[in-house]
């Protein structure tokens, strides 16, 4: 019988996509996938250390796997991702049943490990793969993709920004862009396989190309991707406000397949806090960019991330964030309580904020935003919007689900043959996190018919 693998992914889109690469390597090595932990011969936990809570989730999961290993001593457990990179072999001390620890720059090392994985239960066979790999971005790894309509494509790795709170530059290393040829080849293959949408991934996509020998920037890359036949929609995450150029805004306004959505993390509305965070812009500069964007690309949806309770954040500073939410009226936000991350600059800042105050600020921000998001969704009632159908709805298999160009989720009754197609939906009901509507038409722009 072939061995089976189970992957548990924590964290961001980059990790979700890394898990697709991990799955690619494991299936290429002859393993089959299982969604049951009990059936697995190899378990990979792909971890995230962005906040303490994310770390705790992983530790409690790994703790539970101790019992699984007792029942099945042949079980192999690998830890990947950002915690793996930070903790390395220290994990073996606390969890002696872990077999392999590898970082985000070493996913390709999984190949060698899986093929010669020790069949014994000798824990001295424990290994790590954590070396910084400056050539990782040039490697072509097999990818086993989750869906058939939307695909993730890495365009750069790492981050050079060193925001004071953030662990990512410490776990993912320096910023490296992939060559445009590798990216275009990958997307052309996806188009041939029938994928209709790509999301370009990087911690700071706006600075794409900075260290490449070829002369190319992010808007230039978008132009080239836009010419690939079969790709109807292009998305990207994440953009850094400092590097959001007018050239990118022009590209978003001129290239019809770029989705009308920008995720642009503001983090805070107080200039004092933005400076302590080392973000490199003021709130006024941020707001000006949003104004230019909104006049160049009408109907664009803008979403953001905010952190509440950063060290030194007074009530007045926090109210700066609240008035930013009121003034900009984002389509949606991700809001987080500041979480202290070992090794980051913010650890040493004075005036850390009480947990109680952080919680109160988080609720205030989320309550305010819930009303704004709902009102924005409500304003879409009665409108007809184009949706790319992704699949059956998770909660109700009678319905289909897809997204608008502005990244809002739309559920509707339709046909399974709508999957992968652009359809026009008349919105009849707005909810807090999604829209519901009725199918009006399948669009003529569809290809691959």
Residues that bind ligand SAH (CB under 6 A): 50-51, 165-166, 168, 203, 238, 240, 265, 267, 305, 307, 336, 338-339, 341
Which partner, ligand SF4, ligand F3S, ligand SAH, none, binds residue 169 by CB below 5 to 8 Å per kind?
ligand SF4
Which residues lie closer than 8 Å to 251 by C-beta, 6 or more apart? 219, 222, 223, 258
Q: Which of 391, 370, 387, 395 is nearest to 427 (CA)?
A: 387
Site residues (vs ligand SF4, CB under 6 A): 159, 161-163, 166, 168-169, 203-204, 240
Which partner, ligand F3S, ligand SAH, ligand SF4, none, binds residue 341 by CB below 5 to 8 Å per kind?
ligand SAH
Spatial contact of 228 and 267, defined as CB atoms under 8 Å apart = no
- Of 162 and 438, the one with the shorter C-beta distance to ligand SAH is 162
C-alpha torsion angle, residues 94, 108, 22, 334 (rounded to 10): 80
167 binds ligand F3S (CB under 6 A): yes
CB of 170 to ligand SF4, least distance (A): 9
Alpha helices, H only, 168-303:
168-172, 180-192, 218-226, 246-254, 271-276, 283-296
CB of 343 to ligand F3S, least distance (A): 12
Which partner, ligand SAH, ligand F3S, ligand SF4, none, binds residue 171 by CB below 5 to 8 Å per kind?
ligand F3S
| The only residue of 29, 109, 133, 171 in contact with ligand F3S, by rule CB under 6 A | 171
- Of 167 and 353, the one with the shorter C-beta distance to ligand F3S is 167
Q: Which of 191, 186, 250, 259 is nearest to 217 (CA)?
A: 250
Which partner, ligand SAH, ligand F3S, ligand SF4, none, binds residue 81 by CB below 5 to 8 Å per kind?
ligand F3S
Q: How far apart are CA 172 and CA 9, in angstroms?
A: 16
Spatial contact of 175 and 210, defined as CB atoms under 8 Å apart = yes
- Of 84 and 259, the one with the shorter C-beta distance to ligand F3S is 84
Binding to ligand F3S (CB under 6 A) within 42-61 occurs at 48-50
- Residue 341 half-sphere exposure toward CB, CA atoms < 13 A: 28
Q: Fill in the per-residue mask, 222 to 261: x = in contact with ligand F3S (CB under 6 A), - = not in contact.
A: ----------------------------------------
Q: How far apart are CA 31 and CA 2, in angstroms?
A: 6
CB of 305 to ligand SF4, least distance (A): 8
Q: Which of 273, 271, 277 is nearest to 346 (CA)?
A: 277
| The only residue of 5, 6, 7, 12 in contact with ligand F3S, by rule CB under 6 A | 12
Q: What CA–CA distances, in Å, run from 391 to 131, 199, 339, 412?
A: 39, 17, 36, 11
Binding segment for ligand F3S (CB under 6 A), chosen from 166-174, 324-332, 345-353, 395-403, is: 166-174
- Of 159 and 435, the one with the shorter C-beta distance to ligand SF4 is 159
Binding segment for ligand F3S (CB under 6 A), chosen from 12-20, 107-115, 212-220, 350-358, is: 12-20
| The only residue of 107, 168, 244, 274 in contact with ligand F3S, by rule CB under 6 A | 168
124: left (phi over 0), alpha (psi -120 to 50) or beta: alpha
| The only residue of 5, 7, 15, 58 in contact with ligand F3S, by rule CB under 6 A | 15
Which partner, ligand F3S, ligand SAH, ligand SF4, none, binds residue 129 by CB below 5 to 8 Å per kind?
none
SS3 419: coil
Spatial contact of 221 and 202, defined as CB atoms under 8 Å apart = no
- Of 14 and 435, the one with the shorter C-beta distance to ligand F3S is 14
163 binds ligand F3S (CB under 6 A): no
CB of 61 to ligand SF4, least distance (A): 24
Which partner, ligand F3S, ligand SAH, ligand SF4, none, binds residue 162 by CB below 5 to 8 Å per kind?
ligand SF4
DSSP letter, residue 310:
-
103 binds ligand F3S (CB under 6 A): no
Q: How many CB atoms lie within 10 A of CB 134?
A: 12
Distance of CA 131 to the CA centre of its chain: 24
Which residues lie closer than 8 Å to 91 by C-beta, 6 or more apart? 79, 83, 84, 98, 101
Q: Which residues bind ligand F3S (CB under 6 A)?
A: 11-12, 14-15, 48-50, 81-82, 167-168, 171-172
């Amino acid at each position: 019988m072939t061995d089976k693998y189970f992957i548990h992914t924590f964290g961001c889109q980059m990790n979700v996509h890394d898990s697709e690469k991990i799955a690619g390597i494991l299936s290429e090595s002859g393993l089959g996938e299982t969604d049951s932990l009990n059936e697995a011969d190899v378990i990979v936990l792909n971890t995230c250390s962005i906040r303490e809570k994310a770390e705790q989730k992983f530790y409690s999961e790994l703790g539970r796997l101790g019992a699984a290993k007792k029942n099945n001593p042949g079980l192999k457990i690998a830890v990947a991702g950002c915690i793996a990179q930070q903790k390395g072999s220290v994990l073996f001390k606390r969890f002696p049943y872990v077999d392999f620890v590898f970082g985000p720059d070493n996913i390709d090392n999984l190949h060698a490990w899986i093929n010669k994985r020790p069949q014994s239960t000798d824990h001295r066979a424990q290994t790590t793969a954590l070396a910084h790999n400056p050539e990782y971005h040039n490697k072509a790894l097999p990818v086993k993709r989750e869906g058939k309509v939307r695909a993730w494509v890495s365009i750069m790795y790492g981050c050079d920004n060193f925001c004071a709170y953030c662990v990512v530059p410490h776990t993912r290393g320096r910023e490296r862009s992939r060559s445009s040829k590798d990216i275009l080849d990958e997307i052309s293959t996806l188009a041939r396989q029938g994928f209709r949408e790509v999301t370009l991934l990087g911690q700071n996509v706006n600075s794409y190309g900075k260290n490449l020998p070829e002369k190319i920037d992010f808007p230039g890359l978008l132009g080239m991707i836009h010419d690939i036949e079969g790709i109807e929609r292009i998305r990207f995450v994440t953009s850094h406000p400092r590097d959001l150029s007018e050239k990118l805004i022009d590209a978003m306004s001129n290239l019809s397949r770029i989705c009308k959505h920008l995720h642009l993390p503001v983090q805070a509305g107080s200039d004092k806090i933005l400076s302590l965070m080392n973000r490199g812009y003021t709130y006024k500069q941020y707001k000006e960019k949003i104004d230019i964007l909104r006049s160049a690309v009408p109907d664009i949806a803008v979403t953001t991330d905010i952190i509440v309770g950063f060290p030194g954040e007074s009530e007045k500073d926090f109210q700066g964030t609240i008035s930013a939410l009121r003034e900009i009226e984002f389509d949606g936000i991700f809001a987080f309580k500041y979480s202290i991350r070992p090794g980051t600059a913010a650890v040493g800042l004075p005036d850390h904020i009480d947990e109680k105050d952080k919680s109160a600020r988080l609720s205030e921000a989320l309550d305010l935003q819930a009303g704004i998001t709902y009102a924005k969704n409500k304003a879409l009632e009665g409108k007809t919007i184009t949706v790319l159908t992704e699949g059956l709805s998770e909660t109700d298999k009678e319905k289909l689900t897809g997204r608008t160009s502005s990244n809002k989720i739309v559920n509707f009754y339709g046909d399974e043959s709508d999957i992968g197609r652009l359809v026009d939906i008349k919105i009849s009901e707005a909810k807090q996190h999604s829209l519901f509507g009725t199918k009006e038409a399948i669009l003529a722009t569809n290809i691959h018919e």
